[in-house]
C-alpha cells in the first residue's frame, strides 16, 4: 500500500425528508446564491422544499445550469455574487449543478484576470466561497469531494480542477428525490459511478485490501441497481438509498487512498463529450472496453480478479476470462439501454484523429495515473470502438 493522506470533512445528511435539515447548516446573515439546473426540481417538489428550508435567509437564484456545465454559462453568476455580496452557494441538482457551483465558489475569490486559468493553467485555489449541496441525481460523487469538471465551448475544452476548499460543507442525500428520475438518467448514474470505481480499482495490485474490497462492494451494489433498471423491476426506497450512497462512496476519495488510480477512460471520454456532446456516462461506456482490451495483458492480475469477483468468471486461461469479462460488462451497459460503439451514434473513424488532436492541444502525453496509456495509444483504443 502506498502512503496516503485522507481528509473528507463533508457532512452528509442522508435520508427521507432531509432537505429540511439544511436550515440548521446555512450561515446566518449571509446572502446565498441558490444554483440549480433546467427546472426539474420545480416539478418534483425539491424546489419548494429548498425554498421552505431557506426560510428567512436572503437568497438569489441562478437557474439553468446545463449538463456538462460551461464556463460561458456560469460566468454571469459572478456578477450576481459580486453585486449581492454572496457568502454561500447552495447547489441543488446533479453533478453538473454542483460542479458548476464549485467553479463559481473558486472563481468568485480568484485574484487573476480569468478564472479559467484555475483549470487551464492548474492555478491552485487559495480561497473559495463555502458551498452546500442537495443532490438530485446519484452519479458523479461530486457531492462528497473537491473535484469539478467544466467545459469551455468556445475552445472545445473540458477540463477538471480540484481543491479541498470547494468540498461542500454539507450535502443532502434524500433518496426520495430520485423517484422522478427517468430510467436513462438512473442508467447513466449507475454507469458513471461504476466506472468511477473501476478507474480506481482496475489498475495494478496495490495490496490495499480495504480499498479493493470496498470497491468490489460498491461494484456489486451498482451491478444490482443496474440489473433492476434492465429488468423493469421497480426499485424500492432501500434500492434507491443503496444506489445513492454507493455512488457517493464511489468517489469520496476513500477508494483511491494508497492505490494506483487510472482515469485514462475519463480523459479520453471528456474529449468525446467536448467534441460530440455525449453524456458523460455514455462517453465512458464507449471508451472503457477499448482501454481494457488494450491493457488486458499488462493489468492481467487485477482484471482477472475483477471478472472473478464481480462477474463470476474464472478459468485457467486468464486472457480468455478477461475477454469474457469485458463482454459481460459491455452487455451490462447495453442492457441499460446505452450503446457503446461510436458507429451506433453515427460517428466513424474520423473521431480518432480529432480526439488525439484535442488531447495534444491540452499537452496531454501520459493519460491517467497508471503510467501505461499514452496519447499515442488512443488510436488503438478507439479503433476498437468504432
Query: Judging by DSSP bridges, how do beta strands 59-62 and 88-93 pair with one another?
Result: unpaired
Beta carbon nearer to its own copies, 162 or 258: 258
Instruction: Candidates 241-249, 323-331, 346-354, 371-379: pick the segment binding its own copies (CB under 8 A).
Output: 241-249
Cα–Cα distance measured from residue 215 to residue 145, given in angstroms and rounded to the nearest whole number: 17
CA–chain centroid gap for 76, Å, is 24
Which of 56, 113, 209, 232 is close enough to bind its own copies by CB under 8 A? 209
Instruction: Candidates 184-192, 240-248, 272-280, 298-306: pick the segment binding its own copies (CB under 8 A).
Output: 240-248
Beta carbon nearer to its own copies, 187 or 218: 218
Beta carbon nearer to its own copies, 308 or 377: 308
Instruction: Candidates 119-127, 183-191, 202-210, 329-337: pick the segment binding its own copies (CB under 8 A).
Output: 202-210
User: Do 118 and 78 touch, CB atoms closer than 8 A?
Assistant: no
User: Do 94 and 140 touch, CB atoms closer than 8 A?
Assistant: yes
Q: Which residues share a beta bridge with 261?
A: none
Does 193 bind its own copies (CB under 8 A)? Our answer is no
Segment 216-235, which members bind its own copies (CB under 8 A)?
216-218, 220-221, 224
Beta carbon nearer to its own copies, 216 or 300: 216
Hunting for cell 454561500 — which residue is that?
Answer: 88
Does 200 bind its own copies (CB under 8 A)? Our answer is no
Does 27 bind its own copies (CB under 8 A)? Our answer is no
Q: How far is CA 279 from CA 186, 216, 357, in A?
A: 13, 25, 21
Does 110 bind its own copies (CB under 8 A)? Our answer is no
CB of 162 to its own copies, least distance (A): 17
Cα–Cα distance measured from residue 168 to residue 11, given in angstroms and rounded to the nearest whole number: 8
Q: What is the DSSP string of 193-249?
A: HHHHHHHHHSSS----HHHHHHHHHHHHHHHHHHHHHHHTPPP-HHHHHHHHHHHHH
Instruction: Candidates 42-50, 201-209, 292-300, 370-378: pick the segment binding its own copies (CB under 8 A).
Output: 201-209
Does 241 bind its own copies (CB under 8 A)? Our answer is yes
Cα–Cα distance measured from residue 181 to residue 100, given in angstroms and rounded to the nearest whole number: 21
Q: How many residues does the chain have?
A: 386
Hunting for cell 424546489 — which residue is that?
Answer: 47
CB of 371 to its own copies, least distance (A): 20
Beta carbon nearer to its own copies, 164 or 374: 164
| Burial call 20-57: b when 16+ CB within 10 Å, e when fewer | ebbeeebeeeebbbbbbbeebbeebebbebbeebbeeb
Instruction: Candidates 28-36, 185-193, 244-252, 331-339: pick the segment binding its own copies (CB under 8 A).
Output: 244-252
- List contacts with its own copies (CB under 8 A): 1-9, 11-18, 207-210, 213-214, 216-218, 220-221, 224, 237-238, 241-242, 245-246, 249, 257-258
Amino acid at each position: 500500500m502506498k502512503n496516503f493522506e485522507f481528509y473528507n470533512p463533508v457532512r452528509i445528511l442522508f435520508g427521507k425528508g432531509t432537505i429540511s435539515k439544511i436550515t440548521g447548516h446555512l450561515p446566518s446573515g449571509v446572502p446565498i446564491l441558490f444554483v440549480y439546473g433546467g427546472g426539474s426540481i420545480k416539478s418534483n417538489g425539491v424546489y419548494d422544499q429548498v425554498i421552505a428550508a431557506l426560510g428567512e435567509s436572503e437568497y438569489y437564484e441562478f437557474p439553468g445550469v446545463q449538463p456538462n456545465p460551461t464556463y460561458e454559462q456560469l460566468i454571469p453568476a459572478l456578477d450576481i455574487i459580486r453585486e449581492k455580496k454572496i457568502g454561500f452557494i447552495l447547489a441543488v441538482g446533479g453533478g453538473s449543478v454542483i460542479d458548476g457551483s464549485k467553479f463559481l465558489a473558486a472563481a468568485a475569490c480568484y485574484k487573476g484576470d480569468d478564472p479559467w486559468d484555475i483549470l487551464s493553467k492548474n492555478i491552485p485555489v487559495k480561497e473559495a466561497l463555502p458551498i452546500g449541496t442537495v443532490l438530485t441525481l446519484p452519479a458523479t460523487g461530486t457531492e462528497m469531494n473537491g473535484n469539478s469538471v467544466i467545459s469551455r465551448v468556445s475552445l472545445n475544452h473540458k477540463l477538471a480542477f480540484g481543491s479541498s476548499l470547494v468540498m461542500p460543507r454539507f450535502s443532502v442525500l434524500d433518496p426520495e428525490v430520485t423517484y422522478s428520475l427517468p430510467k436513462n438518467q438512473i442508467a447513466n448514474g449507475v454507469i458513471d459511478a461504476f466506472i468511477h470505481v473501476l478507474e480506481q480499482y482496475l489498475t495494478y495490485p496495490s495490496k490495499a485490501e480495504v480499498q479493493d474490497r470496498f470497491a468490489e462492494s460498491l461494484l456489486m451494489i451498482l451491478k444490482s441497481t443496474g440489473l433492476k433498471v434492465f429488468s423493469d423491476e421497480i426499485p424500492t426506497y432501500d434500492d434507491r438509498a443503496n444506489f445513492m450512497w454507493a455512488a457517493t462512496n464511489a468517489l469520496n476519495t476513500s477508494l483511491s487512498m494508497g492505490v494506483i488510480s487510472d482515469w485514462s477512460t475519463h480523459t479520453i471520454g471528456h474529449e468525446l463529450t467536448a467534441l460530440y456532446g455525449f453524456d458523460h456516462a455514455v462517453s465512458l461506456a464507449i471508451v472503457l472496453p477499448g482501454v481494457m482490451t488494450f491493457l488486458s495483458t499488462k493489468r492481467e492480475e487485477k482484471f482477472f480478479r475483477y471478472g472473478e469477483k464481480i462477474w463470476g468468471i474464472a478459468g485457467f486461461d486468464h486472457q480468455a476470462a478477461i475477454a469474457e469479462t469485458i463482454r459481460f460488462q459491455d452487455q451490462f451497459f447495453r442492457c441499460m439501454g446505452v450503446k457503446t460503439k461510436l458507429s451506433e451514434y453515427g460517428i466513424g473513424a474520423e473521431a480518432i484523429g480529432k480526439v488525439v488532436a484535442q488531447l495534444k492541444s491540452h499537452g496531454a502525453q501520459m493519460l491517467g495515473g497508471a503510467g501505461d496509456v499514452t496519447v499515442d495509444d488512443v488510436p488503438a483504443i478507439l479503433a476498437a470502438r468504432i
